[in-house]
């Protein structure tokens, strides 16, 4: 409600209440007893977790969910005179004097449900919740697609109950007073949050606090989706709240690094061992999850138990190789077929082939480590055989786009020359090196690390994950484009799209947590269970210090590197060995090295030292045994870190015009060279006259609307400028994954032309729509996302383009997205 008056609380907002509210939840549901954790220390200002400083004694996978209460940090109201909030801050009492709505902001997304107490409520009310600043709406199939409902009364407690588990993704909550008879009181309004017992055992910080905030946000994102028996794939109940096997790969990886909850990760691997959700690549992500788990835990017995299962998945991938199998899904990115729309694109098939090679080579490496030499040879041979087949094709790298090249590089089998070709082709454009989904971006930054392109990787992390935080996110999203931040206010409803109604708490987006710990902090296992590991931080040109820890079953590995001071501290737990530790020098010239205050090396000793040497910008130490170490590097010359120098955002189409004046009278303004008036003739028949340079306009996913309405100036006139009945194409809301339509404009030339797309919200359903434009050949995004709103009287989106393009119109809010026509002109 854009007319709200905002009031902020300045006092502490978090109230953990072990009293009546939590006891009631336990009594009513017998599943969410009060939190058993103990408060230790202070909150971490870089973490959005409101109970970051709470710790459980020996949390286990078998522990059930627990609950805690939160109070809002601020509130807004549509009718200030209807709500007396004077006592709310001190006594949790709101006096209701009339109709209207109050919106409460709890400061971050939580897994919870909204409730309050009242002894004198007689009015008609509803309650709402959302991850963004309007009451949420999701697709059909959900128990309650509209996240607004009359609360259920339990004695004096009024609770919003939207699904059997009660909890949803809640950042904002509403009380909506629909009628008013007499004054009444809201007491003890609270968000009751569920949590799986888990402790932060890992940590991360560096001189760039944005990266640290990303690490802790990703960890919290996973924590919110730790359910009683499995890793959830989505917080908002949208009908798909269960463990999706492929989604679990990056979320389990982040969970091991942040929490060390290995028993729970193991349980989820067991739960998903025979599931792939009908998606071929998800079987391979399960194998990679198994490998990750063994590398981090050393649980060889578990690996042996699932060798046959993994082998069947890998053998099936070998059978599929080169056969263009039905993939069903590879990612939401346009270049990967836009999810379920067209998942079998050439790019997706190449990516799946490279993912197969990666899975074979990594599984072969694991088999070699645990003594299964036969399987090691089998799958390593598969990998080398298929990568060599690729190389028999001349200029084979030219066919690989961003995603396929990332999966190729992640095999670890590509040469430096091949990587350089991939890099120059796919990774030097700031826009197009970003995937639509942070899930796929995890594999892209993994490839950047293998290419040693850490500045590019860190920049893209800040664009993708940092951009979500700038939007106002306290968790990470299912999909995201940085240009959203130019068209949306903080915490506005995001565009919905081929993924359906966008989830803002999607743990598949948390792989960046593991990446930052393994690549920037540099702690990475070399043998199962960290029996051997390395610490090789990659700070790029801009980071001057990094500090953090990784939990292992042997204990915590910690590292702290400070280029400016020259100080390095390490903790190596019993039963492990740091095979290599690389102290970053940041380009400075080294004079000597001290350990615990004692000189142990200087430049003169470099030629004779067997355990300490300088190479590739590091002072390298080898084979450090368990213990604590404090090193001091003394510099001869110190080089200061560079300032960040990001690439520009470059789009082929930068200039757009929105025309809300012309309305339906397009003649003499648009369409001088051609037009297409959607459903003007009814039954999916369009009135069209295409220019000679346009061979076709192809529509996909649209629903057709033709209505006999009274003529008005907003309805598109026909070619004679006479008013017509309404014709439009619309999205198929609320059907799952039908929140978008596409128009492929096939041009015969490569000249500059103008196109105008006409939007009309004919029945005033408060439609808001987002528009994306792609190169129809490469499917690269070629324009920043545009937001079309307030188009009750019609609005044109006008821009110039060249060649073949795809226009994708996405639902944001309202009944659906609606387009009535497209018009072609010379460029202006």
Q: Is the pLDDT of residue 14 over 50?
A: no
Residue 494: the pLDDT is 98
Supply 596's token pair: 């615990």
pLDDT band at 745 (very low <50, low <70, confident <90, very high): very high
At residue 642 the predicted structure's pLDDT band, cuts being 50, 70 and 90, is confident
∠ CA 243-471-789, nearest 5°, is: 100
What is the pLDDT at residue 51? 98
User: Can you tell me whether residue 309 is helix, strand or coil?
Assistant: helix
**Cβ-count burial of 266 within 10 angstroms (0-12 exposed, 13-18 middle, 19+ buried)?**
middle
Confidence of residue 1 (pLDDT cuts 50, 70, 90): very low
Say if residue 667's pLDDT is above 70. yes
pLDDT tops 80 at residue 252? yes
Residue 290: phi and psi, rounded to 5, are -60, -45
Count CB neighbours of 730 within 10 A. 21
Among 19, 47, 48, 46, smallest CA distance to 35 is for: 19
Helix axes 346-369, 373-391, angle to 10 degrees: 150
Q: How far apart are CA 821 and CA 690, in angstroms?
A: 12
pLDDT band at 607 (very low <50, low <70, confident <90, very high): low
**pLDDT by residue (tens digit) across 675-727?**
999 999 888 999 999 999 999 999 999 999 999 888 788 999 887 767 678 99
User: What is 203-237 written as a DSSP string?
Assistant: EEEES-HHHHHHHHHHHHHHHTTB-SSSB-S-SS-
Render pLDDT for 329-365 as a digit per residue (tens, 0 to 9): 999 999 999 999 999 999 999 999 999 999 999 999 9
Summarize pLDDT for 125-180 with one digit per residue, the tens: 999 999 999 999 999 999 999 999 999 999 999 999 999 999 999 999 999 999 99
Identify the pLDDT of residue 697: 97
Residue 390 vs residue 4, higher pLDDT: 390
For the chain, domains (ranges, CATH) are: 5-195 (2.60.120), 203-520 (1.50.10.10), 524-637 (2.60.420.10), 657-826 (2.60.120.680)
CA distance 476 to 364: 33
- How many CA atoms lie within 13 Å of 600's alpha carbon, on the beta-carbon side? 17
Structure tokens at 114: 């909204």
pLDDT for residue 21 is more than 70 = no
Q: What are phi and psi of 443, to 5 degrees?
A: -75, -30
pLDDT in tens, 780-812: 999 999 999 999 999 999 999 999 999 999 999
Average pLDDT over residues 599-608: 83
C-alpha 746/C-alpha 546 separation (Å) is 51
pLDDT, tens only, 197-226: 999 999 999 999 999 999 999 999 999 999
Mean pLDDT of 755-760: 98
Percent of the chain scoring above 90 in pLDDT: 90
Is 11 a residue whose pLDDT tops 70? no
- Using the predicted structure, report yes or no on whether residue 672 has a pLDDT greater than 70: yes
The pLDDT, as a whole number, for residue 636 is: 87
Beta-carbon-side half-sphere exposure of residue 672 (alpha carbons within 13 Å): 8
| Range with the largest mean pLDDT of 537-551, 595-609, 715-729 | 537-551
For residue 648, give the nearest of 469, 429, 445 by alpha carbon: 429
- Tracing tokens 């060279």 back to the chain, one arrives at 673
Q: How far apart are CA 49 and CA 222, in angstroms?
A: 11
DSSP 516: I
Q: With H, G, I as helix, E, B as strand and everything else as coil, classify residue 546.
A: strand
The closest of 525, 531, 567, 526 to 547, measured between CA atoms, is 567
Residues 131 and 171: beta-carbon distance below 8 Å: yes
User: Which residues, 6+ apart, have CB-to-CB distance to 167 below 8 Å?
Assistant: 111, 112, 113, 193, 194
* Under 8 Å between Cβ of 33 and 67: yes
How buried is 371 (Cβ within 10 angstroms: 0-12 exposed, 13-18 middle, 19+ buried)? exposed
Between CA 205 and CA 569 the distance in angstroms is: 14
- DSSP states of 74-112: EEEES-GGGEE-TTHHHH-EEEE-SSEEEEEEEEEEEEE
Lookup result for tokens 């390490």: 570
Report yes or no: 386 and 411 within 8 Å, Cβ to Cβ: no
Please name the residues in contact with 785: beta carbons below 8 A apart, sequence gap of 6 or more.
Answer: 481, 483, 484, 486, 487, 495, 770, 771, 772
Residue 818 · residue 759 · CB < 8 Å? yes
Token couple for 25: 């939840």
Q: pLDDT band for 650, please (50, 70, 90 cuts).
A: very high
For residues 237 and 453, give the distance between their C-alpha atoms in angstroms, rounded to a whole number.
38
3 state SS of 151: coil
What is the mean pLDDT of the segment spanning 643-655?
90
Mean pLDDT of 748-758: 96
> Quick one: pLDDT at residue 19?
33
60: helix, strand or coil: coil
Structure-token pair, residue 22? 């939590």
Mean pLDDT for 416-445 is 98
Going by the DSSP 8-state scheme, the letter that residue 604 receives in this structure is G
What are residue 569's phi and psi, to 5 degrees? Answer: -125, 145
Q: Indicate the angle between helix axes 307-320 and 373-391, nearest 10 degrees.
A: 20
Q: Dihedral angle at the C-alpha atoms of 189, 152, 168, 280, nearest 10 degrees?
A: 180
Phi/psi of residue 763, nearest 5 degrees? -110, 20
11: left (phi over 0), alpha (psi -120 to 50) or beta: beta
Dihedral (Cα; 437, 438, 444, 446), 10-degree rounding: -160
Model confidence at 477, pLDDT cuts 50, 70, 90, reads: very high
pLDDT at 25 over 70: no
Q: What pLDDT, on a 0 to 100 scale, did the predictor assign at position 31?
A: 57
Tell me the pLDDT tens digit for each residue of 49-91. 999 999 999 999 999 999 999 999 999 999 999 999 998 888 8
Q: Residue 418 in contact with residue 364, Cβ under 8 Å?
A: no
């Amino acid at each position: 409600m854009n007319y709200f008056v905002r009031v902020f609380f300045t006092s502490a907002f978090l109230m953990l209440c072990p009293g009546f509210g939590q006891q009631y939840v336990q009594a009513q549901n017998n599943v969410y007893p009060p939190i058993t954790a103990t408060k230790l220390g202070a909150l971490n200002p870089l973490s959005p977790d409101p109970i970051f400083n709470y710790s459980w004694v020996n949390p286990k996978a078998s522990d059930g969910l627990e609950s805690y209460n939160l109070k809002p940090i601020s509130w807004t109201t549509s009718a200030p005179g209807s709500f007396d909030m004077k006592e709310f801050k001190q006594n949790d009492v709101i006096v209701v004097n009339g109709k209207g709505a109050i919106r409460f902001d709890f400061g971050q997304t939580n897994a919870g449900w909204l409730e309050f107490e009242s002894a004198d409520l007689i009015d008609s009310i509803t309650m709402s919740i959302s991850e963004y600043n309007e009451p949420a709406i999701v697709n059909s199939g959900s128990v309650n697609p509209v996240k607004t409902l009359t609360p259920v009364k339990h004695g004096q407690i009024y609770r919003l109950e939207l699904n059997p588990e009660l909890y949803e993704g809640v950042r904002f909550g509403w009380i909506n007073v629909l009628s008013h008879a007499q004054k009444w009181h809201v007491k003890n309004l609270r968000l009751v949050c569920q949590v799986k017992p888990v402790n932060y055992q890992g940590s991360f910080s560096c001189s760039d606090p944005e990266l640290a905030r990303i690490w802790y946000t990703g960890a919290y994102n996973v924590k919110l989706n730790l359910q009683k028996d499995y890793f959830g794939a989505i917080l908002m109940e949208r009908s798909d709240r269960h463990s999706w096997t492929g989604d679990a790969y990056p979320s389990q990886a982040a969970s091991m690094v942040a929490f060390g909850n290995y028993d729970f990760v193991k349980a989820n691997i067991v739960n998903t061992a025979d599931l792939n959700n009908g998606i071929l690549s998800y079987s391979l992500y399960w194998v990679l999850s198994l490998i990750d788990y063994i590398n981090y835990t050393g649980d060889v017995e578990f690996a042996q138990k699932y060798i046959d299962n993994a082998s069947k998945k890998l053998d099936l991938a070998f059978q599929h190789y080169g056969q263009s199998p039905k993939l069903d899904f590879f990612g939401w990115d346009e270049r990967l077929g836009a999810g379920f729309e067209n998942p079998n694109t050439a790019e997706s098939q190449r990516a799946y082939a490279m993912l197969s090679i990666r899975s074979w080579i990594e599984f072969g490496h694991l088999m070699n480590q645990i003594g299964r030499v036969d399987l090691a040879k089998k799958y390593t041979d598969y990998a080398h055989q298929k990568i060599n087949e690729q190389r028999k094709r001349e200029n084979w790298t030219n066919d690989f786009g961003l995603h396929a090249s990332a999966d190729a590089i992640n095999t670890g089998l590509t040469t430096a020359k091949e990587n350089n070709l991939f890099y120059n082709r796919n990774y030097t454009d700031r826009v197009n090196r970003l995937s639509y989904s942070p899930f796929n971006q995890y594999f892209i930054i993994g490839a950047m690390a293998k290419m040693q392109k850490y500045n590019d990787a860190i920049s893209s992390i800040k664009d993708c994950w940092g951009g979500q935080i700038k939007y106002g996110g306290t968790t990470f999203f299912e999909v995201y484009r940085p240009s959203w931040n130019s068209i949306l206010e903080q915490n506005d409803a995001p565009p919905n799209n081929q993924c359906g109604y966008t989830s803002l708490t999607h743990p598949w987006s948390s792989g960046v947590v593991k990446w930052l710990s393994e690549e920037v902090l540099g702690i990475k296992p070399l043998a199962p269970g960290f029996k051997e590991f390395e610490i090789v931080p990659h700070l790029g040109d801009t980071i001057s210090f990094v500090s953090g820890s990784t939990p292992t079953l042997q204990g915590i590995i910690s590292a702290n590197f400070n280029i400016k001071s020259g100080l390095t501290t390490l903790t190596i737990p019993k039963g492990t060995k740091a095979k290599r530790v690389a102290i970053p020098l940041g380009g400075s010239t080294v004079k000597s090295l001290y350990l615990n205050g004692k000189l142990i090396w200087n430049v003169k000793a470099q030629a004779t030292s067997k355990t300490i040497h300088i190479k590739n910008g590091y002072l390298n130490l080898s084979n450090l045994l368990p213990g604590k170490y404090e090193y001091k590097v003394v510099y001869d010359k110190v080089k200061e870190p560079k300032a960040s120098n990001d690439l520009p955002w470059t789009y082929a189409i930068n200039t757009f015009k929105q025309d809300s004046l012309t309305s339906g009278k397009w003649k003499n303004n648009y369409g001088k060279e051609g037009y297409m008036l959607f459903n003007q003739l009814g039954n999916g028949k369009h009135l069209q006259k295409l220019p000679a340079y346009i061979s076709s306009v192809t529509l996909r996913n649209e629903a057709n609307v033709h209505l006999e309405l009274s003529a008005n100036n907003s309805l598109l006139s026909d070619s004679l400028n006479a008013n017509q009945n309404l014709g439009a194409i619309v999205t198929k809301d609320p059907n799952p994954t039908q929140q978008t339509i596409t128009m492929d404009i096939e041009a015969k030339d490569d000249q500059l032309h103008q196109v105008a797309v006409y939007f009309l919200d004919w029945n005033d359903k408060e439609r808001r729509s987002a528009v994306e434009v792609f190169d129809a050949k490469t499917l690269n995004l070629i324009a920043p996302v545009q937001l079309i709103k307030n188009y009750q009287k019609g609005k044109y989106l006008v821009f110039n383009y060249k060649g073949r393009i795809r226009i994708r119109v996405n639902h944001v809010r309202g009944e659906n997205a609606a387009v009535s026509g497209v018009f072609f002109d010379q460029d202006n």
